Amino acid sequence: MNKKKQSSNLLLLMTAMIWGFAFVAQRVGADYVGAMTFNGVRFALGSLSLIPVIAIFGREPFSREQFRMTALASVLGGLALFSASLLQQWGVELTQSAGKAGFITSLYTVLVPIIGVLFLRRRTRITTWLGAFLAVGGLYLLSMTGQERAGLGDLVLILGAVVWALHILIVDHFNTKPIYTLGFAAGQFGVCAVCNLAGAALFEEVSADGIAAAGIPILYGGLMSVGIAYTLQILGQKNADPTAASVILSTESMFSAIGGILILGESMTAGGILGCILIFGGVILSQLPQKPNEDTPQKA
């Protein structure tokens, strides 16, 4: 393996680690502010944090058609991102578990090709179905045994994984169009932030004290998970093998469990641990057959 690929893989591993530990930030933030308040502020920070990235990497001019298509992609992607992130945050609140939320959310990587087969007439391989089978078995063990018994939070996280998969397909669709990539990223984060803040104003009790108390989790979720991790992903995928990139990024769920155990003192039953292993194995197996020219799933 050459040095460029080694550096790229390291950047992608850092991305997965940042995303995984973001579940810990979401779990802590949920103690102080509502889901829409937390997401609204963090995605606003994330959108603003991409401005210097755009200034450095995105100086090329773009056409009116690119502007129009980028605006459309930002709106549709932002609405999907709003729904997915809101369901994820609610799920974290209800399950009170960063690790469990991370593993259930990771099912989106298995769902993307399955939705493509069922609704978009895309081809897939047997390993995708085998990965899905393992993941479903793991989900059963994680959510239906002992202390990890399924509840409303599990269902919310599963629905969130479905919406994350839809968001990936939206990104995949617009990646084939003439769009300004960094503008699309900042735009969808901005739309997501506006939707969340509007919802928070209507349905949640927003207070400066609550936001201040959740300051560190919000800063981590906005600057690290959205701004820095997205930038590292862009840089990492430049020289990385697409299949290797997918597998490395899928370790996000593993880091969410590690963060939950080390920082929050979370624990799981033996059945829950086995369920996590099966989900992780299913996620990796479902991504192994990717072709070299296929896009690596991206998650904000």
Q: How distant, in Å, are the alpha carbons of 140, 141, 182, 260, 282 from that of 136? A: 6, 9, 35, 22, 8
Domain-located, residue 299: no
Write out the residue range of the structural domain in which residue 224 sits. 3-287
Q: Determine the length of the chain.
A: 300
* Contact yes or no for 252/106 (Cβ under 8 A): yes
Q: What letter represents residue 76's amino acid?
A: L
Domain-located, residue 243: yes
Average pLDDT value for residue range 127-156: 78
Domain-located, residue 297: no
Domain-located, residue 294: no
Domain-located, residue 293: no
**pLDDT reading at 2 higher than 90:** no
pLDDT digits over 220-257, tens only? Answer: 999 998 888 877 887 777 777 766 777 788 888 889 99
> Can you spell out the DSSP letters for 204-229?
S---HHHHHHTHHHHHIIIIIIIIIH
Domain-located, residue 59: yes
What is the pLDDT at residue 242?
64
Domain-located, residue 295: no
Helix (H, G, I), strand (E, B) or coil at 125: coil
Confidence of residue 41 (pLDDT cuts 50, 70, 90): very high
Q: How many domains does the chain have?
A: 1
pLDDT digits over 48-80, tens only? Answer: 988 887 887 766 677 888 889 999 999 999 999
Confidence of residue 199 (pLDDT cuts 50, 70, 90): very high
Domain-located, residue 300: no
Alpha-carbon torsion (239, 242, 243, 247), positive or negative: positive
What is the pLDDT at residue 293?
45
Query: What pTM does this model have?
Result: 0.85
Tokens read off for 120:
């978009």
